[in-house]
Amino acid sequence: METSERLIESAQALLWERGYIGTSPKAIQERAGAGQGSMYHHFRGKPDLAVTAMRRSAAQLRAQAEEQIARGGTALERATAYLVRERDAMRGCRVGRMAMDPDVIASPELRAPVEETFAWLTGHLAGVIAEGVAAGELRPGLDPHDTAAAIVAVVQGGYVLARAADSQEPFDAAVRGAVALLAAQAAPGA
């Protein structure tokens, strides 16, 4: 594997584990088995490498979400598939983790992959909900964007609850609740 790939993968893992502030260039280099010169040959510095790693993590998250949502079925089934996808709630979300880091939030460059990913996810889920409303599967008054934002918030908030309790159960309970609320929006006779 090329040095640049090892650096990106190492940065991805460390950012997920420790966040941006807790991830030093030295730790990335050690995990990647790369020297300082190699890192600065491929990247302008820690922020450049972090953005590259975050964009890679974001692309992976989008691919996973797309795979779950695209499996077919009704809009309700597709939204539910996204919610119930197996996740390790104790690890949290690779992308959502970055939103908790003050250095990431303070930097438009570092924040961009996080913001773009959640905008994409919310928009994609809103499209699924809108299809369900248009097809008569879901109640006509259901707002697709607000519903999609709630689904994303349940998953991200579920990670926080699970980590706070040191247990997967709060995450699973939040997902079960969201699935029940979403199912209650099925159009009569659908």
Q: What is the pLDDT of residues 2-36, one digit of tens each?
A: 999 999 999 999 999 999 999 999 999 999 999 88
49 within a domain of the structure (yes/no): no
Name the β-bridge partners of 138.
186
Long-range contacts of 154-161 (CB under 8 A, 24+ apart): 154/83, 154/178, 155/83, 155/87, 155/93, 156/93, 156/96, 158/89, 159/87, 159/89, 159/92, 159/93, 159/96, 160/92
Name the β-bridge partners of 184.
none
11 within a domain of the structure (yes/no): no
Summarised one tens digit per residue, pLDDT across range 94-117 is 999 999 999 999 999 999 999 999
What is the domain extent for residue 104?
56-183
Long-range contacts of 175-180 (CB under 8 A, 24+ apart): 175/83, 175/84, 178/83, 178/150, 178/151, 178/154, 179/80, 179/83, 179/84
109 within a domain of the structure (yes/no): yes
Summarised one tens digit per residue, pLDDT across range 113-163 is 999 999 999 999 999 999 999 999 999 999 999 999 999 999 999 999 999
167 within a domain of the structure (yes/no): yes
CATH code for the domain of 60: 1.10.357.10
Give the span between the Cα atoms of 172 and 90, in whole angstroms: 11
179 residue type, one letter = V
104 within a domain of the structure (yes/no): yes
Residue 179's Cβ-side half-sphere holds a number of Cα atoms within 13 Å equal to: 14
Averaged confidence pLDDT in the chain: 94
14 within a domain of the structure (yes/no): no
* 190 confidence band (pLDDT: 50, 70, 90): low
60 within a domain of the structure (yes/no): yes
Domain count, the chain: 1
